[in-house]
Chains A and B, each alone.
Chain A
Amino acid sequence: DIQMTQSPSSLSASVGDRVTITCRASQGISSYLNWYQQKPGKAPDLLIYAASSLQSGVPSRFSGSGSGTDFTLTISRLQPEDFATYYCQQSYSTPYSFGQGTKLEIK
């Protein structure tokens, strides 16, 4: 089974900051890497799919990169609505697996 490891587990930042979250797969997953945003009490929303493709309706300040085993999610200029928990997920093979999450908090 493929293990997904995110870092950091939590992150404090200010509105307007640029932040980067990393995700590492335990084996190569090509570009089958997706990023989700989850706010408290809500279902996750898809942000980025296939490592770097922006889901329709997602602001362009979100971007993704990487392939193989190492991936990043970058938010270029944090907005108040971006404070949430972010998860990476591999869809290369079942059992599909998620990272443990990165909680982005306001500094």
Chain B
Amino acid sequence: EVQLVESGGGLVQPGGSLRLSCAASGFTFSNYWMHWVRQAPGKGLVWVSRLNNDGGSTSYSDSVKGRFTISRDNAKNMLYLQMSSLRVEDTAVYYCARDRGYSSPLDSWGQGTLVSVSS
């Protein structure tokens, strides 16, 4: 069974940092591209970042570029999102999701982890 389990969310002050993790199991992690998608309370889905299967190619939304870094450890089946210079507007549930690469859909998602940025 495919499983994606996010962790690392919590309450952080504006300007602070946080690292999210996503543990993958039930599939060959190194074959899949991975994404982070977020959803502010009561709002819609917003794509955040993507990383290709070997970690060599990244993409970010303009709203997080320069502040967030996506990475992976294929030996540990782990995906990460290092978030810095956090803003109140970064408050959201963060989901990790996988795709097969090359414009494929996001076919499995984790349950999400909540990040709250507040003073």
| Residues of chain A whose beta carbon lies under 8 Å from any beta carbon of chain B | 1, 32, 34, 36, 38, 42-46, 49-50, 55, 87, 89, 91-92, 94-101
Contact = CB atoms under 8 A, between A and B. Distances in A.
Contact of B106 (A34, A94, A100): A34
B50 A94 contact: yes
A45 to B, nearest CB: 8
B1 to A, nearest CB: 13
Interface string B102-116: 011111111110000
Q: Give the interface residue-count category, chain B.
A: 20 to 34
A91 B107 contact: no
B85 interface: no
Interface stretch (B10-18, B20-28, B41-49, B72-80): B41-49
B93 to A, nearest CB: 9
Contacts of A98: 37, 44-47
B99 interface: yes
Contact of B107 (A1, A32, A46, A87): A46
B82 interface: no
